[in-house]
Amino acid sequence: MQKKVTDGTSIKTTDYLDGFQYNNNLLEFFPHSEGYVKVTAIGINPNSPNYAYNYVFDYGDHLGNVRVSYTKDPQTGNLKILDEAHYYPFGLKHQKYATLGLIESANQVIVAPIANNPFKYSYNNTEWQNELGWNMYDMDFRQYDPTIGRWVVQDAILHHNMSPYTAFDNNPVFWADPSGMDGEHYNWETGRYEDDKGNEVSFETAMASVGLNPDGSECKGKDCIKTVDPLDYALQNKDKLKWNNESMAVAFSASGVLIADDATGVGVFDDVAIPVILGIGGVWWMVDNSERLMLEHQRINRWLAKNAWGFGMTYALIVNQPGTYIDVRGNSVVLNAGDVWKYGETTKLTENGRYSKSDLDVVVSGGVTLVPLFYGSVPEIKVQEKIMITGHYVATGSLPPGNRIFR
């Protein structure tokens, strides 16, 4: 990637190449694990520049903001502070502190005062761009103005309880947001940046969360990078978060016993206890599945928070003929005509949108019929799909035959 700034007759070209940064075709610096390597051109020969390399180390705070940069003075061998940025929550820098840099003088590298530090990655490890008086931080997705503590572009992820221009959830002491997509904070125990669900957040994750690949292209197909969903992870790895239907099974069994003794005539009177038993079973079921229900609730809220204004429908695929079928998990299931094969959602509302007639005819032997259930916005149809799948699971103890996972 290249940036070109024209200021009157002056033209400055900056090239970005996987961390290696060039200024007017001369290498300026590149990163190492604790800071960066400052590259100084000595006795410049346009065809074959001679470079000197000096390690610069950064000392950062709990959010990754650089507080002090220091190096070994090549002339004295002593440590020398090059730059310091005392704490200011929203990223402005105090102006009273002088900036030193590694520069060329008489064919050698010295530490001396400089007007602008070429290494401008300090706040949230993002680049400070002050060309032409711009004075903003360039995050991956948008620009941030530390003077007002706000983004200058709307958030791609809609939060209903705050402005789309609000930065760091109005709490820069706790949250960082180097992507400009969603807030992150530093977990002292794990030593990594995490979102509010405890997942480590990277540039790729931020992109995938809004359906994009790292290069900005739309995320499509099975090879698309996807954000790891905590619910799907829990389903695969944590037995305690599987649905527990034992309480409802006991309640239904007890109710069945009470109904069965109605044949004696005397047993009719104890049927008044059935609603109580089922009510207690329902409450106990919610207690048994509280963690799982919490995850479902978080996932629905995440969908509703996304700025997705498309329109679509939730649908069911209904089997046309009775028979024994093999579901998507390889299990044998017996279905009657009219039973649900799968619940889904789509924004393709044309005649042959989600499925053509030939597609529906070969889903199972005898085919299936697509029945629209609900029309709404993208978040609404996703929530409705989840309601249908979860309801099927609670009622039958298993997913619909054509649904591989909880959506």
Hey, which residues does 97 pair with through a beta bridge?
A: none
Residue 389 corresponds to which tokens in the numbers above? 């799948």
Residue 341 corresponds to which tokens in the numbers above? 């094969």
Let me know: does 50 contact 108? Beta carbons within 8 Å: no
Closest C-alpha to 389, from 378, 403, 376: 403
The CA distance from 43 to 367, in Å, is 78
| Exposure on the CB side of residue 22, measured as CA atoms within 13 A | 13
pTM of the model: 0.47
Mean pLDDT per 10-residue section of the chain, whose length is 407 residues: 87 88 88 89 71 90 84 90 87 80 82 83 84 84 87 72 80 75 59 64 57 58 45 46 72 76 63 78 76 65 56 89 90 92 84 77 89 83 85 83 78
pLDDT for the residue 304: 57
How far is C-alpha 181 from the geometric centre of its chain's CA atoms?
8
Residue 328 corresponds to which tokens in the numbers above? 């998507």
pLDDT for the residue 37: 92
Per-residue b or e along 140-157, where b marks 16 or more CB atoms closer than 10 Å to that residue's CB: ebbebbbeebebeeebbb
The CA distance from 230 to 121, in Å, is 32
For residue 104, count CB atoms less than 10 angstroms from its CB and return exposed for 0-12, middle for 13-18, buried for 19 or more: middle
The CA distance from 377 to 291, in Å, is 28
The CA distance from 140 to 55, in Å, is 26
The CA distance from 106 to 94, in Å, is 32
Residue 154 corresponds to which tokens in the numbers above? 């709307």
pLDDT for the residue 191: 60
